[in-house]
Amino acid sequence: MHRARLFPTSLGPADAPVLLLVHGWGGDGREWSPHAEALAGRFRVVVPDLRGHGRSEVPTTGNAPVEMADDLAALLGSLRTGPVIAVGHSMGGQVVNPLAVRHAQAVRSVIALDPAQGATGPKSRESRPGWRGTADMGPATLPSSWPAPSGRARRPVCVRHMSAPCSAPRTM
């Protein structure tokens, strides 16, 4: 699979923890500008334009969240960031989740803001054969390769649907 050349912006100290900010569909990294500038004093902030967006390459195929996640993994490797705190908004949330699953060594933690996963409608995944909605997925699990924070036990993780509060956190 061809990796798209991404246009990244990087702010903050090179030796600080790395915060990866991933934009949503139809936008670009500039959506994060006020946040990136505010956080650059405490973090190394990496803000890419995803494939097909902003100033990044526009491939004719492979423009799905999984390919975008693989592009981000290649970018993080080339920037030698080490594990990142991956933050994604909207479609960016759909990209940082497979980034964490497929490239667990590259991700310290994930924050998915309004990722629109489980959306319904004629073009949604629910209309495709074999789709399992979020209610059918059972308890959330992390891959066994997911690195635990060094010297600390895993923290409780609460997975919730936006319309229903989580009653009891699950420990991973």
Mind listing the pLDDT tens digit of every residue in the chain (172 residues)? 679 999 999 999 999 999 999 999 999 999 999 999 999 999 999 999 999 999 999 999 999 999 999 999 999 999 999 999 999 999 999 999 999 999 999 999 999 999 877 655 554 444 444 444 333 333 344 444 444 444 444 443 333 333 334 444 444 4
Q: How would you classify the pairing of strands 107-113 and 84-89?
A: parallel
Please list the residues that pair with 84 across neighbouring strands.
18, 107
Q: How would you classify the pairing of strands 84-89 and 18-22?
A: parallel
**For 80-136, where are the alpha helices, taking DSSP H only?**
91-102
Predicted local confidence at residue 162, as pLDDT: 32
Predicted local confidence at residue 2, as pLDDT: 79
Distance CA 97, CA 169 (A): 19
Predicted local confidence at residue 155, as pLDDT: 41
The residue to which tokens 């996963």 are assigned = 117
Predicted local confidence at residue 163, as pLDDT: 31
Distance in Å from the first CA to the final CA of the chain? 33
Predicted local confidence at residue 72, as pLDDT: 98
CA 142 to chain CA centroid, Å, is 15
Predicted local confidence at residue 119, as pLDDT: 54
Predicted local confidence at residue 131, as pLDDT: 40
